[in-house]
Amino acid sequence: MPSHHTLLFLLTCYYNIPKTMAFPTSPSVTLVSLLVSLLVVISTAGNFNQDFQITWGDGRAKILNNGNLLTLSLDKASGSGFQSTNQYLFGNIDMQLKLVPGNSAGTVTAYYLSSKGSTWDEIDFEFLGNLSGDPYILHTNVFSQGKGNREQQFYLWFDPTADFHTYSILWNPQRIVFSVDGTPIREFKNLESIGVPFPKRQPMRIYSSLWNADDWATRGGRIKTDWSKAPFTASYTNFNANACVWNAAKSSSCKSNSPSSESPTNAWLSQELDSTAQQRLRSVQKNYMIYNYCADNKRFPQGLPLECSHT
């Protein structure tokens, strides 16, 4: 599970909920270099039995429905988690999640990409549980070469426990785009030209876990997990990855497990946000963002991170 939490950015979780609005979808991005020469397009159907391994939880994680559904559970003794069979170096990755219903205070459902080592890269979705009726908080972060501190948080504009919703990470050599049901909510650009590290050299696996974090997760740790509501369960389905798979020879080839073999499977390698997607992203950030590290002058008294002036 990620080990990068601080209370600085979680104190914002007590804010008022913005007004609801609906959003359509779309993304798009630019350029790729050496990997293009390694492209091999393959189309297969995503299946949890083939694409993932349960890594911990002593039976609390289950793959069901012939590999089409995966569930993670948490009780007072333990949480649970899984990881992808493959490592990826760039990808356009979708997963549908249905989050813990009811009183989920104290729990965290983490879904993220990560490499290993002391200078790891990481791209995070984390869902911070809350009291019944309160909104889930979606926490995002980007690590490069072991450095994070790039948190943005959002209220979701729907009930993420009532049905499955799609959470997507577009990661190519030029940018990382976080999307919810096709609506971009955050973009992190490659700004190596001004000295900002960008994740592009280390292959990453997909990870997910459901675990107890009541020391910080809900209202800064003031609300504790109610174990009488356990077990807490999150569900996953419809995994889809158009991605460059890293192999033992330390090279990558790009493939798709999309059911539609007609779509241009490598278009994501040069995708950028068009004007419509940029407008939707601004709308989400205006109406639903509750914390942005690029607006936290108290946290960065010596000056905001370089990328904050280039968003």
Running DSSP on this structure, what letter comes out for residue 52?
E
Tokens encoding 134: 């309160």
- Cβ count near 35 (within 10 Å): 19
Contact 255/269 with Cβ under 8 angstroms? Answer: no
Q: Which residues contact 75 (CB under 8 A, 6 or more apart)?
A: 60, 227, 230, 231, 232
| Long-range Cβ contact pairs of 188-191 (< 8 A, separation 24 or more) | 188/142, 188/150, 188/307, 189/307, 189/310, 189/311, 191/306, 191/307, 191/310
Cis amide leading into 18 (omega within 30): no
Active-site positions read 122, 126
C-alpha 282/C-alpha 201 separation (Å) is 29
Cα dist from 152 to 9, 278, 284, whole Å: 8, 17, 12
CB 51 within 8 A of CB 83: no
- Three-state secondary structure string covering 195-215: CCCCCCCCCEEEEEEEEECCC
Q: Could you give the C-alpha distances from 21 to 124, 257, 283, 296, in angstroms and in order? A: 24, 32, 9, 26
For residue 108, CA distances in Å to 158, 203, 216 come to 18, 25, 10
In this structure, what token pair is assigned to residue 256? 């798709």
